Chain A
Amino acid sequence: MRRFSWFNATALTLGFVFLYLPMVILVIYSFNASKLVTVWAGFSTRWYGELMRNEAFLDAALVTLKVGIVSSTLATVLGTMGAYVMIRAGRFTGRTLFSGMIYAPLVMPEVITGLSLLLLFIGIGLDRGIVTIILAHTTFSMCYVSVVVSSRLVSFDRSLEEAALDLGASPFEAFRLVTLPIIAPAVISGWLLAFTLSLDDLVIASFTAGPSSTTLPIKIFSAVRLGVSPEINALSTIMISIVTVGVIGASLVSKRAAVKRQEEERAAVRT
């Protein structure tokens, strides 16, 4: 057995306190009965009830959900296609440049992405609203999907596709019937990642949202500027839960399925 070390225990505790204390406080205060945020007046779920009757928040939540689902689906399709083409294209001149260009938006400051998208939408005369948020979210989250999917494709045995072609499948059938089912876990976790990113995003959404369509993060941010209300705490708690479930789900799906599939694949191929 490993020996207990005070140093490790302290470091671990400090780290986790640093990470999670703010959120824990927020969650606790969301169950506060008092209207004053900083004064504890006993346990209550009152603010969750209030929240459910608040039309503006519900609208924003609906927009966020729609944007999240549509944009992450689009991002998954585009990101998977991008990853597939990059991995399958083999070597060509400028390959590093191209793959770099797929991943560059990952490190691009969000403000710049948001601003450039805003300029684009104004330039082509597209009215800001839910469509523009969807487009913007698709743009930035497809890079993440493509990173996740291409890391799976790298270890994908090419001869499986060749076998499908050899048996008379068209290239598209080979992709649909062989490649896609095998890389599905990576695609699903890519989707969950894109969905979570879209749910979280404030900066890009505030550049591309219009007056008729605000997402939840924007709504919270503007409400907080007028003072923190316990309702916001309740809403934030709900969002924390959704994101947590999403992230844990994504990692579970990808881990477990990837391990299983890889075992299967290794076993199906003679070493």
Chain B
Amino acid sequence: MPQKVFAPWDDPQEKPLIQFKNVTKRFGSFTAIDNLNLDIFEREFFALLGPSGCGKTTLMRMLAGFETPTEGTIQLSGKDIGGVPPNQRAVNMMFQSYALFPHLSVWENIAFGLKREGKDKGAIETRVSEMMRLTRLEKFRNRKPHQLSGGQRQRVALARSLAKAPKLLLLDEPLGALDRKLREETQFELMDIQEKTGTTFVIVTHDQEEAMTVASRVAVMDEGKLVQVATPDRIYEGPNSVYVADFIGDVNIIEGRAHQTGDKVQVIWSESEPPLMATTQKNFSLDQKCYMAIRPEKVGISADRPTAANALKGKILDIAYLGNISTYHVELPSGHVIKAQEANTRRIARRHFTWEDEVWISWTDTAAVLLEQ
């Protein structure tokens, strides 16, 4: 039996768990969320990405019930939750500021929500211990928040929000203060929890690698609007705008004018150089302004002229050595600087390119994405 791919967003029959309908949120005259429509499905791991101040926290706070939309409605399982107070929503939030109770110990902080449910002592003890084991806090059971390090506090906040095993869990930058190893472990724990409990996660992160690792879908926001919502691979391989291409990962952008024949496009980008070739599903009118987006790892670098559809000659301006890979900044005669990435499969002493070397860079006509904006 083939395993069913998890993609409820592609299934028109599927009912979303959360539905934002034309939601606008204003603070005075400032619009923090601008006419936003969004469906999030059950069991999703939904990642919100965007620059600081674009409205990620505001979106979460509306889901948790601390802010009411100025316009539009938010539905949870098909019911408008506008009038439901935060303490009656099956939603838990991990605050960006942690908001740990300073007068309570780690144990009491984590147990707070469970006690409100009126669970019996034994059940609470079991659950809290489980959460402390998960977040490696057993040693700090009786400490107060001010006696913990930043990363430990972050884990308390995470444990506290996880303890009630809510239907929907909102995590506002949950792993930012953890070291890389612990962060990766916690990411896998989160995915594991999700697998086991079927909780839906909405997570804000500034770490796009994290978003790529854990998320079923990624949303890129800008100034209160969703720019693109798609699976990690689609958002990386097929960004819908220069903004998204630039925000997710590293990219070379070449501006030009499009001359389309069928699905092939010639991009006129320089007076002196031949046009670049690309394929596209979109339709460009003659001489329409377009942007060619090409990821550095798809740009090859060689000493001799390659046979690829696009080949340009340039000079190595800079080399950034990142251990497993190196990024070469190649300056073209036109002044453009193109980044090309190579895996460092050989030892550094055997590398054959160095500063000021004349090299060829190249990519195929299917490697680049053509964007209208």
Interface residues of A (CB under 8 A from B): 157, 159-160, 162-171, 173-174, 177-178, 181-182, 261, 263-270
Contact = CB atoms under 8 A, between A and B. Distances in A.
B112 to A, nearest CB: 5
The 3 closest A-B pairs by CB, nearest first: A167-B113, A267-B146, A264-B102
A11 to B, nearest CB: 42
A268 B100 contact: yes
23 contacts: A159-B97, A159-B99, A162-B64, A162-B86, A163-B101, A163-B160, A164-B101, A165-B85, A165-B87, A167-B87, A167-B112, A168-B87, A168-B164, A169-B112, A174-B87, A181-B103, A264-B144, A264-B145, A264-B146, A268-B146, A269-B99, A270-B97, A270-B150
A171 B144 CA distance: 24
A166 B96 contact: no
Contacts of A181: 103
Interface residues of B, number: 31
B101 A270 contact: no
Interface string B144-170: 111000100110000010001000000
Interface string B186-229: 00000000000000000000000000000000000000000000
Given A166-B64, A267-B146, A270-B153, A160 B160 contact: no
A261 B154 CA distance: 20
B117 interface: yes
Contacts of A163: 93, 95, 99-101, 160
Given A162-B86, A166-B86, A269 B97 contact: yes
A2 to B, nearest CB: 34
Contacts of A178: 101, 103
A268 B86 contact: no
Interface in B122-177: 144-146, 150, 153-154, 160, 164, 177
A162 B99 contact: yes
Interface in B82-98: 85-87, 91-93, 95-98
A169 B116 contact: yes
Nearest to B85: A165
A268 B87 contact: no
A268 B101 contact: yes
A270 B87 contact: no
A166 B116 contact: no
Contacts of B113: 167-168
B353 interface: no
Contact of A270 (B66, B96, B144): B96
A168 to B, nearest CB: 4
Contacts of A267: 102, 145-146
B164 A264 contact: no
Contacts of B145: 264, 267-268
A178 B87 CA distance: 14
A264 B147 CA distance: 8
A118 B135 CA distance: 64
Contacts of A165: 65, 85-87
Report whether over half of chain A's contact residues are helix, strand or loop; otherwise say mixed: helix
B116 A269 contact: no
Nearest to A181: B103
A164 B85 CA distance: 12
A265 B101 CA distance: 8
Contacts of B92: 166-167
A159 B96 CA distance: 10
Given A171-B87, A181-B103, A267-B146, 8 more contacts: A157-B97, A162-B66, A163-B100, A163-B101, A165-B65, A166-B91, A270-B96, A270-B177
A163 B94 CA distance: 8
Nearest to A157: B99
A162 B94 CA distance: 11
A182 B112 contact: no
Contacts of A170: 87
A240 B272 CA distance: 96
Interface in B46-103: 64-66, 85-87, 91-93, 95-103
B146 A263 contact: yes
A16 B253 CA distance: 77
Contacts of B153: 268, 270
Contact of B102 (A164, A166, A171, A261): A261
Given A159-B97, A162-B66, A167 B102 contact: no
A93 B81 CA distance: 28
A269 B146 contact: no
Nearest to A261: B102
A173 B116 contact: yes
A169 B97 CA distance: 19
A168 B117 contact: yes
Contacts of B177: 270
A266 B64 CA distance: 24
Nearest to B144: A264
A163 B116 CA distance: 13
B28 to A, nearest CB: 10
B103 A167 contact: no
Contacts of B154: 270
B98 A269 contact: yes
B155 to A, nearest CB: 13
Contacts of B116: 167-169, 173
B102 A268 contact: yes
A182 B102 CA distance: 8
Nearest to B147: A267
Nearest to A159: B99
Contacts of A265: 102
